[in-house]
Structure 1
Amino acid sequence: MIVPQLPLGSVVEAAVYWISDTFGFALDAFSGVFKFFIDIFKDVLMAMPPLLFVVLLAVLAYVIGRKDWKLALGTALGFIVILSMDLWEYSMETIALVISSAALALIIGIPLGILAAKSETLYRILRPILDLMQTMPSFVYLIPAVIFFGLGNVPGMIATVVFSMPPAIRLTTLGITQVPTELVEVADAFGSTSWQKLIKVEIPVALKTIMAGVNQCIMLALSMVVIASMIGARGLGYQVLIGIQRVDIGLGFEAGLGIVIIAIVLDRLTQHLTPK
C-alpha cells in the first residue's frame, strides 16, 4: 500500500508567506517597536562606564544575595575578565538582547501559565503547542523570523522568545495548580475575590516554582545567542560565529567564555531571587 504524500511543508510555507504578505504592515510596526526597546536598553548599558557598571552589578549581587560577598566578588571578577578580553560592547549587546527577549517571554508566559492553571481546556490546547516549541529544532524558528522581520536583532529576539517561553508557562501552571486546596478554601471562606485569591494566596505560594521558570527562561534565551547570530543578531554570539567561519579558536573561545560568564551571573542572581 502506497501512503499518499502529505504536503504539510508546502501548507506551512504558504501560510507563512500569506501572513507576511497580509500583515506586513503590522509586522513592520512590531519590528520597529522591538528594535526601539532593544536599542534603548543597549544604549543605556553602553553609556555607562564599564567600571561603574561592574561596581553597580556587584552591589546588586551583594543585595540580592543577602550579603553574599562571594557572589558579589565573583560577579565583579567575571565582568572584569570580559572587559580585559575587549568584549565589553559585544557583551552589552548580548545582555540587552537576552534581557529584552526574556522579559517579553515572561510578560506573555506567566499570564498564560496562570490562565492555563485556571482552565483545563486552555491547558490541553497549550500543551501540544508547548511540546512543539520545545522539541522543534531551534534553527527552524529562524526561517519564519527572517521572513517576518528581516535580518538583525529583532528576528533573533522573536526566535529567542519562542524558544525560551515554554518553561515559564509550564512552571507557572505547575506552581499554581500545586497550591494546597486548604489555602484556597480558607481564602474562599473569607470572601476573597478571584483576583485577591490569586495575588495574596496562589502567586506567593507558587512563587518558588514560578521563579524556577524565570531562571530557565533566561538560560534558554542565552542558549539562543549563538544560533540567533546566524540571522544577524549581534553580540557575543556573532563573535562566536565569526570564530567558526574563520576557524579562529582564540576568538571563539573568548566569546564563548564571555557567554558562560554572563550565564553564570544571571543564573546565580535569579536563584537568589527565589524565596527559600
Structure 2
Amino acid sequence: MFVGAIEKVDQFTRPIHFIFRYYTGSDIVPGTATLFFVNEEGFAITCRHVARQILYANSIYENYLKFRGELRKFEKDPGFETQRTNLENKYKISAANPIRVLFNFIQCVSAYKAMTIHLHPTQDLAIIQFKEFESVQYQGYAQFLKDSRFAKQGRYLCRLGYPFPEFTNYQYNKVSGDIEWTKEGRSKTPSFPIDGIITRHIGEGSEITGIEMSTPGLRGQSGGPLFDPNGTIYGMQSATRHLHLGFDQVNREVVSDGQRRRVSNYPFLNVGQCVHVDVIKQFLREKKIKFYEQD
C-alpha cells in the first residue's frame, strides 16, 4: 500500500541526531527527531519542541558552565552542599534537565554556514532554513495536499520518522570533560513507518489545527511527514495523546503462571497527533517560503 509512497517521501525526510548529558548521570543519552524539506532551497519543517532544543542548546551549556564556575569558589567551604543547593536553584539545574545538548543534521545539506529557525507562535511547528550551503543532500521535496477537505475521518495514512536512535558515533572526552561526536561508530539510524486512519480532527475555536490518528506517533518521529499512498503530505507528526478508556481494573484477582495474584490496570489508548496541512501551508505563506501542492 505505502511502498512507493515511502520510497518517495524518504528522499526528502531526514533525521536529527541528539546526544544529551544530564546533571546527575555519567551516561550519554542518544535521541532522534525528524524533519522534511518543503522545497529545493534548503527549507525544512519540524516540530517547535524539536527546534527549541536546537535553539537553546548553546545557552543550556553556557548556563551550566556559569553554575560550575560559581560553584568552584566554594570547593573548600564547610557549607559546600548548602551552597551547591542554592546555586542549583539559582541556575535551575536538576537531574531532570540536560546540562549539555549536541545535535547533528544527517544528510540534509553540505557545509552550511548559517541557519535560521522560525517558531510558530501557537502550534507545534517550526521552519528551519539552512543558509550558505554547498549542495543539498536530499532529493525532491514535499507535495502538500491542495484541498484539505480530503483529510476525512477514516482516511488511511502513514507517517515516517526515526524513532529508534541506533547511531553510536559519540563519546565522552575525559580531557575536555565534555561529550562530542566522533568519526568512529555507526552514524546512521533507520527510518520507521507507521500506518493508521484519521480518527478525529483537532480544533482550537472554529479552526482545525490538527489531525488525530488511530495509532501513536513514536518518540523520534516528531517532525515527520503524514502522507497518503501517493506520497501527498497531509500533515506532520507532533505528539502522542493518551486517552483514558475507563476500563480500569482495581485489585482484581487473576491466575498467572498457576498463581493467584491481585493486579490493577488503568488502560489508555495512545493515538497520534499531527499538525494539520493547512496550518503548515499558512505558516509557510506568512514567511513567504515557496512550497508545492498536489491535487
Is TM (by shorter chain) over 0.5?
A: no
Structure number with the higher helix fraction is 1
Structure number with the higher strand fraction is 2
